[in-house]
Structure 1
Amino acid sequence: MTLLALLGLFTALVTFGLSLAVYRFALRFKLYPAIRERDVHTRPTPRLGGVAMFLGVLIAFGAAWLFSAHFSLLSIVFNDPKPILGILGGSLLIVVIGVIDDLVDLDWMTKLAGQFVAAGLVAWSGVQILSLPLGGLTVWSPLTSVIITVIVVVLTMNAINFIDGLDGLVVGVAIIANCVFLVYTYSITVRTSPLNYFSLASVITAILIGACVGFLPLNWHPARMFMGDAGALLVGLLMAASAVTVTGQFDPSTLQHVVGRTHLVSAFLPIVLPLAVLIVPFLDFGLAVIRRVNAGRSPMAADRKHLHHRLLDMGHSHFHAVLIFYAWTAVASIGMLLFSFAPVVPVWAAIVFVVVGLLACTAVTLAPLGRRRAVMAAESHIAEPTIRAADASAEAPVAHKEAS
């Protein structure tokens, strides 16, 4: 865990330096698009943060590969370089597409085609969903495994990209979700492979956390630079890749035996936990697709009705809306993580944490509605005497005329 933490810290420092360099480069050559109608920010801002994040990830993988020559346990991750090369190749492709889209605004069909190609590179390299704990161990045929993996990667990339609308939102959600996922992958690796604590999923997650932490100072409100489609799609691809490697890494029967046969939920965690940490992005993505299809529009057409837009319309400030997203992500991901530590953490404790957390998040989310009702009620009480006085003054001349 110390080596993973150092790898994440190294990635953060490198990404922060690269972010400053890219930011100055973008300002010098005026590489920032015009403000769109759906945008929340009010001044032109560079969207090349994804470039700095990708370069940080690339350098971090290179450094990890060099260090693997001195750490035998880490070298196991790099014995087969094909999956890493596939992930980096897909990342490069998606970053290039994202940068072009941020600068010249590609049509959605071109972007979607590029996403499928990038996801195909990841699946082709061997990062695939090989098994699922559904009624025992289910092994897919090679073609089915590739198809499902590609769909999962594309859906995850778009889900992350859809919530990229507020300063610091995606990087913060990614940091929280991946920290939880890193603890899970590390703990499961320790319990299933006591002679080797490293896995490809842990390395990917640690590097991604570092890249997000390094970029966050420039992306915090008010943001000096956005990650753009390149960064959001990159984050989604790496999160999907790490989750897919975990899904196929462990035999569900072995995992269930390790975590305890009485806690069946734990055997499903390789599938459930990635969904839990991404519950908010997937919810926003699903609602957006349904909304646009019902309106007769393309499911990829942009609009200003995402969940973060609705929070702003409810009366939340920019800062509060971002914190609400953080809170929902933390409750869902940490709550699900607690189940993996059974019986050390009682199941009832995990349930209580989730229930209390969800109630608190709901109350905070809906708080502006209560304040709005109170303000409207107060305004109605103030306006009612004014209306009565106006009516009385309007009737007085009429009465005087009739008397005369």
Structure 2
Amino acid sequence: MREYLLVALTAAVVTFLLVGLVRALAFRIGAVAYPRQRDVHVKPMPRMGGLAMYGGVIGGMLLAHQLPVLRSAFDFSDDPYAVMIGGGVIVLVGVLDDRFELDSLTKLAGQVTSAGILVLFGLQWLVFWVPWGDDGAGTGSVLALDQNQGALLSVLLAVTMVNAMNFVDGLDGLAAGIGLIAAIATCAFSIGLLADNGGEVGAYPPALIAATLAGACLGFLPHNFNPARIFMGDSGSMLIGLMLAAATTSASGKINYSSLDATDLLGLLSPLVVVAAVLFVPMLDLLMAVVRRTRRGESPFSADKMHLHHRLLEIGHSQRRAVLLIYLWAGVLAFGAVALTLFDDAVVLWCLAIGLLLALLVSAIPRLREPRRG
């Protein structure tokens, strides 16, 4: 735990210190976001914050490579190398987009390339539990994927996560905060796997990937929370999505299914549950945007002003309160799912229900006040 905290803190400090340099570079080369009709900022804002975040990730990884325990994550797995190389490619694509505004197909090609690099290094889904079939004990079966199936599923998941985080990046501090919450939840889940597997070395990489991402998001957030001084741009949001996909994919192969039975449904489905909960908010936003735009006969990648955060602003929430509300929703769902896989189900379900009810009531406060005003 001490080494994970040290790595996360190092990533945060490096990111925080690099932001000033990246901000000056963005102004110098013209990577600046000028206000548009769908935007909520009112003055030109430098982008490319993802470059500083990537520097923080590299700093955390380099430190981990020198630590006595976490060094094993590099000796017994190529997952950290895959993240550094694939992350570098997607940050490069994002930087080019922040400066030149690439078309959607070019960005998609870059996303697929980055996800393909993860697969080439062996970071892909290979097995997961399904409720059908029978392994002889009536407990369902473990579905094993061949290399092609696993590669396709892993690339599809990574590209979906990348675009989900890209879509949700619309308010100051929103993507960085969701990335921080999701990374901490994924790290906690991965450390839980360590405990379940008796500290097996193979479970180190997902926790390390999540810890460095959490540190990078934490270091960037002070510069990006409202009022922001810099945007992370596509270079940052796509990096967050790719690293979350890498961490959850890496963790999925570390589940010891032989120690679980059919009564422990949450344990058997834990990789899928955590992935779904961690990215529920951005995935919901992505799905609604695709449906909304295709029904209008537009491209799914065309921009509009009807995302979840825009709707919260419309019903009367301020920018800061809208961001904090989405943090609340993301935190309740992500940490609730992780807790379900680690603690007593009944207690966690009650706490999760209370948390969701609280989040719903706080979100609806402006609507509840309207009759009184009338």
Give the shorter-chain TM-score range: over 0.9
Q: Name the counterpart of 2:241.
A: 236
Q: Name the counterpart of 1:37.
A: 37
Offset of residue 196 of structure 1 = 4.4
Alignment of 1:148-187 (within 5 A): 148-187=153-192
Offset of residue 206 of structure 1 = 0.6
Which one-letter code corresponds to 1:369 in the other structure?
Answer: R
For residues 16 and 149 of structure 2, the distance between their equivalents in structure 1, rounded to whole angstroms, comes to 40
Moved more, 78-87 or 221-230: 78-87
Give deviations 1:174-217, integer Å, cap 9, x for gaps: 11222122112102212213354951001001100110111111
Alignment of 1:325-336 (within 5 A): 325-336=326-337
Which consecutive residues of structure 1, in runs of 5 or more, have no partner in the other structure? 378-404
The size of the alignment, in residue pairs, is 365
Query: Quick check: 1:347 aligned with 2:345?
Result: yes
Alignment of 1:126-205 (within 5 A): 126-134=122-130, 135-194=140-199, 196=201, 199-205=204-210
Query: Quick check: 1:295 aligned with 2:293?
Result: no
For residues 182 and 80 of structure 1, the distance between their equivalents in structure 2, rounded to whole angstroms, comes to 19
Q: Name the counterpart of 1:264.
A: 265
Q: Does structure 2 conserve the Cα–Cα contact (< 8 Å) formed by 1:136 and 1:253? A: no
Offset of residue 368 of structure 1 = 1.1
Offset of residue 287 of structure 1 = 0.5
Give deviations 1:67-112, integer Å, cap 9, x for gaps: 3xxx1x3232111564333222221111111111111211111111
Alignment of 1:243-392 (within 5 A): 243-254=248-259, 256=260, 262-342=263-343, 346-375=344-373, 377=374
Q: Does structure 1 conserve the Cα–Cα contact (< 8 Å) formed by 2:163 and 2:238? A: yes
Q: Does structure 1 conserve the Cα–Cα contact (< 8 Å) formed by 2:127 and 2:144? A: yes
Once superposed, what is the RMSD of the aligned Cα atoms? 1.6
Q: TM-score, normalised by structure 2?
A: 0.93
Q: Name the counterpart of 1:79.
A: 75
For residues 248 and 359 of structure 1, the distance between their equivalents in structure 2, rounded to whole angstroms, comes to 34
Which consecutive residues of structure 2, in runs of 5 or more, have no partner in the other structure? 131-139
For residues 76 and 342 of structure 2, the distance between their equivalents in structure 1, rounded to whole angstroms, comes to 31
Q: Name the counterpart of 1:212.
A: 217
Moved more, 229-238 or 15-24: 15-24
Alignment of 1:102-141 (within 5 A): 102-134=98-130, 135-141=140-146
Q: Name the counterpart of 2:10.
A: 10
Offset of residue 251 of structure 1 = 3.3
Which one-letter code corresponds to 1:132 in the other structure?
Answer: F
Larger radius of gyration: 1
Give deviations 1:324-379, integer Å, cap 9, x for gaps: 1011011111211221223xxx322111111111111111112211222332x2xx
Offset of residue 126 of structure 1 = 0.5
Which one-letter code corresponds to 1:115 in the other structure?
Answer: Q
Which one-letter code corresponds to 1:143 in the other structure?
Answer: N
For residues 209 and 366 of structure 1, the distance between their equivalents in structure 2, rounded to whole angstroms, comes to 30
Which one-letter code corresponds to 1:275 in the other structure?
Answer: A
Q: Secondary structure at the match of 1:165?
A: coil
Q: Does structure 2 conserve the Cα–Cα contact (< 8 Å) formed by 1:47 and 1:225? A: yes
Q: Name the counterpart of 2:60.
A: 60
Which one-letter code corresponds to 1:365 in the other structure?
Answer: S
State the identity %.
36
For residues 82 and 175 of structure 1, the distance between their equivalents in structure 2, rounded to whole angstroms, comes to 24
For residues 195 and 77 of structure 1, the distance between their equivalents in structure 2, rounded to whole angstroms, comes to 10
Give deviations 1:243-274, integer Å, cap 9, x for gaps: 001112223233x26xxx64321221111012
Q: Does structure 1 conserve the Cα–Cα contact (< 8 Å) formed by 2:29 and 2:99? A: no
Q: Secondary structure at the match of 2:46?
A: coil
Q: Name the counterpart of 1:390.
A: none
For residues 251 and 31 of structure 2, the distance between their equivalents in structure 1, rounded to whole angstroms, comes to 38
Query: Quick check: 1:98 aligned with 2:103?
Result: no
Q: Secondary structure at the match of 1:199?
A: helix
For residues 34 and 194 of structure 1, the distance between their equivalents in structure 2, rounded to whole angstroms, comes to 49
For residues 82 and 177 of structure 1, the distance between their equivalents in structure 2, rounded to whole angstroms, comes to 23
For residues 268 and 92 of structure 2, the distance between their equivalents in structure 1, rounded to whole angstroms, comes to 38
Which one-letter code corresponds to 1:368 in the other structure?
Answer: P
Q: TM-score, normalised by structure 1?
A: 0.87
In structure 2, the CA distance between the partners of 1:371 and 1:130, relative to structure 1 (3 Å rule), is same
In structure 2, the CA distance between the partners of 1:195 and 1:154, relative to structure 1 (3 Å rule), is closer
For residues 160 and 215 of structure 1, the distance between their equivalents in structure 2, rounded to whole angstroms, comes to 16
Which one-letter code corresponds to 1:76 in the other structure?
Answer: S
Q: Does structure 1 conserve the Cα–Cα contact (< 8 Å) formed by 2:115 and 2:155? A: yes
Q: Secondary structure at the match of 2:128?
A: strand
